[in-house]
Structure 1
Amino acid sequence: MWLSWQLLGCTWFQPKEEKTARELAEEGIEAFKDEDYRKAIESFEKLKDWYPFSQYAILAELKIGDAHYHRKQYQEAILAYEEFENLHPKNEAVPYVIYQIGRCHFDRLYTVDRDQTTAREALQTFERLIRIYPASPYAKKAKEHMEVCNRNLAEHDFYVGMFYYKAKHYKAALERFKTVLRSYPDLGVHHKALEYIALCQARIDSAVGANN
């Protein structure tokens, strides 16, 4: 009788068989297609942890970054993409990975009246992509995003210049407008910068004349 219960107990409490690497990969991909990115991340994380040397592990590492990106969890996506690049520097997906890191920064661009750190980080990442993989189709996309980043930076510097100008800090304003002219000459802001450079210089000269 005791033996029968023992055998029955073993049947009841026997753990379920773990899913294979392929099953987890397929599960993650299906969840990703259904835009259930949370579930996709769970499946791919299990795959990566349980089968780190599987042929599907690299796919899981990449798709974890993509899933975080689609959830707008940009910092988590950047960490996943950077880990992929560090582990697989020669993989054919690396240009895409670098591009996606840039996109994570780019998609967080702020309005010109706020700090532009993300614009600078996006710009640096896209520049790295173009420098290392100039023939990649992602390099072309990166150039388009770089133009937006540079325009943001130009308009931000002009905005700061206008802040100083309105506060009558004409020397500080002059330096900002000169930065716009020097660093971003072809982005549609240089005409306004030239105008205010002249106005600042006139104000500064007027103040010097009044003191003499």
Structure 2
Amino acid sequence: MANVRSSVIGKTARLAVVSLVLAGVGMTTTACGTDPDIDITKLGLATDPPEQLYNQGLANMKAGNMGEAARKFEAIDKQNPFTEWGRKALVMVTFVNTRMNRNDEAIAAGNRYLKQYPRSADSAYVQYLVGLSYSKQITDVTQDQRASSRTIEAMTKVVKDYPDSEYVDDAQAKIRFARDQLAGKEMQIGRYYLERKEYLAGIQRFRVVVEQYGNTNQVEEALARLVEAYYAMGIAEEAQTAAAVLGRNYPDSQWYSDSYKLLKGGGLEPRENRGSWISRAAVRLVAGSDS
């Protein structure tokens, strides 16, 4: 009988505590106005089960309420870490943040997922979302291109680590775009030096494009600028070699036409010196043209 009385008293005490907490919330709300974002989980009260929260998140996504969907999935992630529902929710947190262009948040969530679940069925998708979030941060070539480098790094992992995944084709397209951006940045700096007649500095930038980004859209101009820079410095053999490589790979290019006219104006013509770094780079240029 004493045990029954003790149990009743215990239950009564717990109900009293909960009532006091709820009363406190009501008083706070009354005193401070309305606060619809109070997190009741911090009060120690029961919350919706993860399956229910997950379905609510999906329903909000379907209705276009992405912010509310993110909150549902984030709640599961916080309340149920290292569970199957927590794992699934973390995938959705990454996805929703990517869709909302919250790229830093998406990258952070995705990297956390890949660290916790490196061999899960969704790892390829999450790795792709990380790369996609980086690619969304790529700016024009006049700006910093750190996001381009990180896009290449993240998407290369998709290609190498998940070669049979459905994301490989788009990952490769994003890599090509990011590489073109990096090459474009080198060209932008090289043109700046060329305009200032700082030819050696310009040549260094154009050389990077030819040697490292030979399969990008920038290589034609890079070869033409090498013709221009070497010609201006009086290094005819290198100018002729750059023009010959340009003409062999891009015979119908306007850049080749301009380079040819430049050399002809000085009594020269395209002629390849096989010992030149440009000629050696041309071998890689041809090899990488299909990649």
Q: Shorter-chain TM-score: what band? A: 0.7 to 0.9
| Aligned pairs for 1:85-100 within 5 A | 85-100=114-129
Q: Which amino acid aligns with 1:101?
A: V
Which AA in structure 1 matches 2:219?
Answer: H
1:182 aligned onto 2:211: yes
Q: Is the CA contact (8 Å cut-off) linking 1:31 and 1:39 kept in structure 2? A: yes
Question: Which amino acid in 2 is paired with 1:85?
Answer: L
2:61 corresponding residue in structure 1:
32
Task: Give 1:205's aligned residue.
Answer: 234
Cα offset for 1:186?
A: 2.5
State yes or no: 1:132 paired with 2:164.
no
- The whole-number CA distance in structure 1 between the counterparts of 2:82 and 2:221 is 58
Residue matched to 1:117: 146
Q: Distance in 1 between matches of 2:199 and 2:153?
A: 31
Question: 2:137 maps to what in 1?
Answer: 108
Aligned equivalents of 1:156 and 1:150: distance in 2? 10
Structure 1 residues 53 and 196: CA distance shift in structure 2, 3 A: closer
Q: Aligned-pair distance for 1:17?
A: 4.9
Q: Report the Cα offset of residue 93 of structure 1.
A: 0.5
The letter of the residue matching 1:158 is M
Please, which runs of 5 or more residues in structure 2 have no aligned partner? 1-11, 23-44, 236-291
Matches within 5 A, 1:1-40: 13=19, 17-40=46-69
CA deviation string 1:46-83 (max 9, x = no partner) = 22222335432211111111121122111111010011
- Is residue 189 of structure 2 the alignment partner of residue 160 of structure 1? yes
Please tell me the residue identity of whatever aligns with 1:20. Answer: P
Q: Which moved more, 1:30-39 or 1:125-134?
A: 30-39
**What secondary structure sits across from 1:35 in the alignment?**
coil
Higher normalized contact order (CA 8 Å, seq sep 6+, divided by chain length): 1
Which secondary structure does the structure 1 equivalent of 2:167 belong to?
A: helix
Q: 2:79 aligned with 1:47, yes or no? A: no
CA deviations 1:162-186 (Å, max 9, x no partner) are 0111111110001111111111223
Looking at structure 1, the residues matched to 102 and 211 of structure 2 have their Cα atoms a distance apart, in angstroms, of 36
Find the aligned partners of 2:83 and 2:231 in 1 and give their Cα distance. Answer: 70
The total of aligned residue pairs comes to 199
Residues 112-162 of structure 1, C-alpha deviations (whole Å, 9 max, x = no match): 111111011101111122111111111121011111111111122111110
| Residue aligning to 2:108 | 79
Residues 19-46 of structure 1 show CA distances to partners (whole Å, capped at 9, x for unaligned) of: 1121111111111222222211221222
Distance 1:71 1:151 in 2: 26
The two structures, once aligned, show a CA RMSD in angstroms of 2.2
One-letter amino acid of the structure 1 residue matched with residue 128 of structure 2: Y
User: SS where residue 191 of structure 2 aligns?
Assistant: helix
TM-score between both structures, scaled by the size of structure 2 = 0.63
SS of the equivalent of 1:137 reads coil
2:76 counterpart letter in structure 1: L
1:198 offset after TM fit, Å? 1.5
In the TM superposition, residue 92 of structure 1 has moved relative to its aligned partner by 0.8
Name whichever of 71-80 and 17-26 sits farther off: 17-26
Note if contact 1:24-1:47 (Cα within 8 Å) is conserved in structure 2.
Answer: yes
C-alpha contact 1:21 1:54 (8 A) present in aligned 2? no
Name segments (4+ residues, structure 1) moved above 6 Å.
Answer: none
- 2:164 paired with 1:142: no
Closer/same/farther in 2, CA of residues 55 and 195 from structure 1, 3 Å limit? closer
Bigger-Rg structure (1/2)? 2
Aligned to 2:276: none
SS in 2 for 1:164: helix
Does the Cα contact within 8 Å between 1:68 and 1:74 map onto a contact in 2? yes
Provide the rounded CA distance (Å) in 2 between the counterparts of 1:193 and 1:48. Answer: 49
Distance 1:66 1:136 in 2: 17
